[in-house]
Amino acid sequence: MTSPATSSSQSNQRTWPFLIDLAVFGAILAFLCALAAIGRYWFGAAVPAAEISRSPRALPLYAFYSLVRMATAYLLSLVFAVSYGYIANYSTRWRAVMLAILDILQSIPVLSFLPGVMLAMVALFPTRQMGVEFGSIILIFTGQVWNMAFSFYASLQAIPRELREASRVYRFSRLQTFFQLELPYGAIGLVWNSMVSVAGGWFFLMACEMFVLGNRDFRLPGLGSFLQSAASAGDTTAILWGLGAMIAVIVLIDQCIWRPAIAWSDKFKFEQVESKASGGSFILNLLRRSPLLNRLRHSVVTPLSERAYNRTTSQPDQAAPTQQPLLRVVAGYAFGLLVLAGILWGIFETFRTLRTITSHELVVTVESAGATFLRVAVSLIIASAWAIPAGVAIGFHPKLARIAQPLAQIAASVPATALFPVILLGLISMGGGLGIGSILLMLLGTQWYILFNVIAGAIAIPSDLREVADLFHFSATQRWLTVILPGIYPYLITGLVTASGGAWNASIVAEYFHFKGSVLSTFGLGAQISSATDSGNFALLLLSTMVMATFVVTVNRLLWRPLYRLGETRFRLEN
Amino acid sequence: MADRLHAANPLIEARQVEKYYSQDGETRIQVIAPTDLAIYPDEILAVLGPSGSGKSTLLRMMTGLSAPSAGTVTWHGQPVTGPCENVSIVFQSFALFPWLTVLENVEAPLKARGVHADERRKRCLKILDTVGLDGFESAYPKELSGGMKQRVGFARALVVEPEVLFMDEPFSALDVLTAENLRGELLELWSDKKLPTRAVFIVTHNIEEAVLLADRIIVLGKNPGRIRTDFRVELPRPRDRKNPVFEQIVDHVYKVLTQPAAVPALDATPAAGTTPATKYQMLPHARPGGVAGLLEILADNTGREDIYKLADELAFEIDDLLPTVEAASMLGYLKVSEGDVEITPEGRVFAEADILERKELFRHAALENASLIKQITRSLEKKANHKLSDEFFHDVLDEHFTEQETRLQLETAIVWGRYAELFDHDSKGKSFFIAEEVPAVNPES
């Protein structure tokens, strides 16, 4: 492929735009075809338990179905996250409640949403495939949305005061404030969190595409179900094919979506002084040069936004406020009552469901939570043990970083769940079991959070601090205790918090696995949630979920938050 | 009063506006005392004051950005409830949108008003031309120097042809030369009637800037913020800094700013060891090292110096120098009169002492004159373990200061206490304590 950077010759200048346009046109056409295909599939008769082929020839279609699910779930997450963050930012009354809800929902694993979501969706569209599909999409959604919502809310809160004042004094409408101030300010955080979220989506794809719910079997054609059935059958060739297809899709998405998105979001960096360019994107450059897209922007997007702004401009005398109060108060009360009724009903239902729980089950649940807790702790310790030194080495040596960082990024983007069957095969042949396997899976899924955060922290340590350590011949211990660990501390904590949350969530797939026609499981809360879903034991599922949420939220409050605060006050490197 | 000289009606008028924050419903922190202030057409009004006098708060109340706690602001006689309809602000930090180009930044306010695209572009290009940004339309703010960024700020403010142009320390983030240049251009536009605005309201802490620009100057005092003087500057433009009348006005403003005695019960009056009066004494935010440096300079010279000249020679903003002067005079090392500072005999002794003697002298002077230092020391001595939490002192100070000021007071007290070796502070345990081996007498002296 010829590099676009060197295309300075005249002929290239002329042929490139045409080729780009052709590609853009082709992409639009493909998109329309895909839409038609997916429409036909969604509105077709419901096939909740499709026969999953293990032939490589089925892979392109399966990859397409999975991709559509992921994309729809992601778009849903984006819209929800932005709205949720926006409302939480502006509604001083609901803010505290909304943040607490986010905190709790974030700690609930996807499978716990499964029965409610699935049964509701199937009941909503009993005869169409759409019902099952939507159920799966919403499951993926519940694994992606929370951190994005947090990120957008935090960005809105961090907008500098004078920028807010400027948009008020120049009478920006809400729409203009949103598009010219709030969305741009939150864009970088949204892009990075989107990447993390979508990676999480791939991680749980197997669980979201194929599951048993009591006596009902759900199997949706897709990459996740392909891998799952290959694992159940112990078909190594099929596993490898599926794994290859998944990695190909992920790398493709990385190149076609995330790289351009990151390069594009660079312009939203809030800085007054230009910093070094942080790497461009080939595809973004191409798109920017497409005459077709430029013309589209000029003749469609600009006039439309123009009309939207005109419609929302602030009128000299606003007549609205006069009729507002009464209506607002009534609506507020009505909404409040509705929420209250919902909560009461929820509590009532919870108690009704939990009635069947025996005291023995309660004890076992708490014990299994302890077991999972230990597993999470061990996986965090192992991850830290290798990721901290490696991260610091990469952060301190730019040369090493150039080689290691892209490799690590590729390794991190492979969903550990897809690798899991291969690893299990190896483990079993060596005489190990799921006890070790589950820790390994948690490790595979979460160690990257620690690694990448440590790298960022090590890069942020000012070089003069390191020079001081060199100058005074600090010993290795002294260097680690006075320069490196305090320097990376806030980043390390961020990484550990994310990793711990991820590990808890991963326990549902790590401790309970359909493998070679039987179920492998080990004692733990994740296994309990999975088996409760399988057997349709809603009471036990509810109980385990509540215990898990309580555990995670408590650990966050008692351990991570104080540590985090310490990092913000004491170990902050001010420039 | 200056107001009576105006035949015209005010554009924006504040009547008895005040700003306070109440804490837990009981005590209330007065930021701005009830104040009357009016902006008239065809004038540049400069508001001067030390930091903490509520200059910016006043500006935000006049623009309608922030609602006063009591009193009313009217615009052409009509009460202001939200941001005023036709005003602009030039911000100290520029407040440009980094993701929009220069042109898009300037267009944004017109977009908000629903101005048609072609018309918008025409007006923007014209105003960019006026402020000297021709050719920079498609640049992003981060590609511009500070002075250029503020030009964009001016263009954005002027493009809506505001009735009143508000400026919140518009030149203080710029270097001296750039600021001088921009100020000159602004004045030229105003004098040539090229500014599409009827009045200018500028907040500044630079006295010369105020005298150079303004038709009318208001000086604010602090604790709480209030107007101390309001007078007209009748000098013809362009004004010459060397003009004796100019110097006289600058000197006058300095006197007002440095003469706490002119207003009763201001912070810098040393209460000399007695119990604090109704007003709680405020520690000036100065470092002992700064006080020592100032005294050394005075001792090396004649011992008496005009504050304004001193600040000028040291290339200090008055805002930065004043706390040090206040601290030195609180400790009895300086006397301030008529805008001059004079070193006292005690001050001379301090200036000539070596470092250990200085600590000793400072300890005594601080215990005698700085009531917060004395209070902390005495409270710690009374405790058996010589240890008290931050909260204790927070609670004491909260009744007198805002939350932020309380923090600054304690921070200053820690610096003073450490220098005087009276007490120390443990930031991890959040507590004040007296170290075991506090030397009563220096072993070497």
Query: Consecutive 10-residue runs of chain B (445 residues): their mean pLDDT?
Result: 60 91 71 91 91 87 90 90 87 90 92 88 92 89 90 93 92 86 89 89 91 92 85 87 87 79 37 43 86 87 79 74 87 83 89 87 90 88 86 82 83 90 85 70 43
pLDDT in tens, A418-461: 788 788 878 877 777 788 888 988 898 888 889 988 988 888 88
The alpha carbon of residue A173 is apart from the nearest alpha carbon of chain B, in Å, by 6
Instruction: Look at residue B429 in the predicted model and tell me its pLDDT.
Output: 77
Q: Which residues of A touch B105 (CB under 8 A)?
A: none
What residues contact A386, with CB distance under 8 A and at least 6 apart?
A447
CA distances from residue B63 to A176, A295, A368, B46 in whole angstroms, order as listed = 21, 42, 61, 15
Q: Do A262 and A374 fall into the same domain? A: no
Contact A306 B117 (CB under 8 A): yes
Strands B12-23 and B70-75: antiparallel
Give the number of domains in chain A: 2
Q: Is residue A260 part of a domain?
A: yes
User: CA-nearest residue of chain A to B160?
Assistant: A170
In terms of Cβ atoms closer than 10 Å to its own Cβ (0-12, 13-18, 19+), residue A554 is: exposed
Give the end of a domain, one of A293, A316, A336. Answer: A293
User: Which pLDDT score, from 0 to 100, does residue B277 have?
Assistant: 38
- Do A381 and A272 have their domain in common? no
* Strongest mean pLDDT among A37-51, A75-89, A225-239, A394-408: A75-89
This model of the complex carries an ipTM of 0.72
In terms of CA atoms, which chain B residue is nearest residue A185?
B99
pLDDT, mean of residues A257-271 = 79
Do the Cβ atoms of B97 and A165 come within 8 Å?
no
A272 in the same domain as A370: no
Of A163, A172, A306, the CB nearest to B112: A172
Which pLDDT score, from 0 to 100, does residue A4 have? Answer: 41
Dmax (CA) of chain B: 81
Confidence of residue A495 (pLDDT cuts 50, 70, 90): confident
Partner-chain residue, chosen from B95, B114, B142, that has the shortest CB–CB distance to A166: B95
A410: its two tokens? 């590729």
Buried-state track A442-473, b at ≥16 Cβ within 10 A, e below 16: bbbbbbbbbbbbbbebbbebeeeebeebeeee
Mark whether A162 and A237 lie in a shared domain.
Answer: yes
The answer on A222 and A366 residing in a single domain is no
Distance CA B406, CA A152 (A): 33
- On whether both A239 and A383 belong to a single domain, the answer is no
Give the other-Cβ count within 10 Å of A256's Cβ: 13
What is d(CA A394, CA A451) in angstroms, rounded to the nearest whole number?
10
Q: Three-state DSSP class for B161?
A: coil
B400: Cα separation from own chain's centroid = 20
Alpha-carbon span B441 to B432, nearest angstrom:
22
A50 in a domain, yes or no?
Answer: yes
Residue A293 has pLDDT above 80, yes or no: no
In whole angstroms, give the CA distance from residue A313 to residue A293: 28
CA distance A140 to chain B (A): 33
| A171/B109 CB distance under 8 A | yes
Chain B environment of A316 (Cβ under 8 Å): 85
- How big, in percent rounded to 5, are the helix, strand and coil portions of chain B? 40, 20, 40
Which residue in the set A168, A180, A306 is minimally distant from B108, CB to CB?
A180
Do you know the residue count of chain B? 445
Per cent of chain A over pLDDT 70 is: 92
d(C-alpha B410, C-alpha B403), whole Å: 11
Taking contacts as CB-CB distances below 8 angstroms, the residues of chain A near B65 are: 165, 168-169
Residue A306 lies in a domain: no
Q: Residue A317 domain-assigned?
A: no
**CB-side neighbour CA atoms (13 Å) of B313:** 10
Structure tokens, B297: 């300079």
Name A385's Cβ contacts closer than 8 Å, sequence gap at least 6.
none
Between CA A522 and CA A367 the distance in angstroms is 13
- Domain range enclosing A455: 355-575
**Do A50 and A140 belong to one domain?**
yes
Report the distance separating Cα A72 and Cα A140, nearest Å.
9
Residues A280 and A363 in one domain: no
Q: Which of A162, A309, A313 sits opposite B95 (nearest CB)?
A: A162
**Banded model confidence at residue A9, pLDDT cuts 50, 70, 90:** very low
B404-to-B397, B400, B408, B409 alpha-carbon distances in Å: 11, 11, 6, 9
Instruction: Please check whether residue A323 lies inside any domain of the structure.
Output: no
Report residue A310 as tokens: 């005109």
* CB-nearest partner of B99 from A162, A267, A309: A267
Which has the higher per-residue pLDDT, A384 or A519? Answer: A384
| pLDDT greater at residue A70 or residue B319 | A70
Minimum Cα–Cα distance from B83: chain A residue:
A169
Greater confidence, A337 or B270?
A: A337
Does the residue A393 lie in any domain? yes
User: pLDDT digit string (tens) for A160-170?
Assistant: 889 999 999 99
Res A16: pLDDT: 67
Within B6-69, where are the H helices?
55-63
Cβ within 8 Å, pair B142-A274: yes
User: Where residue A14 falls among pLDDT bands split at 50, 70, 90?
Assistant: low
Residue B176 belongs to what H/E stretch? helix B176-191
Average pLDDT for chain A: 82
Among left, alpha and beta (phi > 0; psi -120 to 50; other), residue B95 is left
Rounded to an integer, what distance in angstroms lies between the CA atom of residue A378 and that of residue A501?
Answer: 14
* DSSP secondary structure letter of residue A49: B
Q: What is the pLDDT of residue A314?
A: 55
Question: Domain holding A446: CATH number?
Answer: 1.10.3720.10
Interface test with B, best of A169, A302, A305 (most B CBs within 10 A): A169
Q: Enumerate the β-bridge partners of residue A213.
A: A216
Could you tell me if residue A121 is inside a domain?
Answer: yes
Last residue within a domain, chosen from A239, A268, A293:
A293
- A168 and A238 housed in the same domain: yes
Instruction: Return the pLDDT at A272.
Output: 54
Query: Would you call B408 an interface residue with chain A, using a CB distance cutoff of 8 Å?
Result: no
User: Tokens in use for A332?
Assistant: 């507020």
Contact B144, B100 (CB under 8 A): no
For chain A, give the percent of residues with pLDDT over 90.
14
pLDDT band at A322 (very low <50, low <70, confident <90, very high): very low
Whether residues A269 and A364 fall in one domain: no
A271 lies in a domain?
yes
CA distance A466 to chain B (A): 25
In this predicted structure, what is the pLDDT of residue B150?
93
- With contacts defined as CB-CB under 8 Å, which chain A residues touch B94? 272
Which residues of A make CB contacts under 8 Å with B?
A: 160, 162-163, 165-166, 168-173, 176, 180-181, 184, 267-274, 306, 309-310, 313-314, 316, 570
Scanning every residue of chain A, which has its alpha carbon at the shortest distance from the alpha carbon of B99? Answer: A268
pLDDT for the residue B85: 80
Of B92, B111, B140, the CB nearest to A309: B111
**pLDDT over threshold 50, residue A156:** yes
Predicted local distance difference test score (pLDDT) of residue A70: 93
Paired with B78 in beta bridges are B75
Quick one: pLDDT at residue A574? 54
Query: Are both A103 and A26 inside the same structural domain?
Result: yes
What pairs with residue B72 in β-bridges?
A: B15
Residues A36 and A142 in one domain: yes
Confidence (pLDDT) at A385: 95
* CA B80 – CA B83 distance, rounded (Å): 7
Phi, psi of A379 (to 5 degrees): -65, -35
A162:B91 CB<8 A: yes
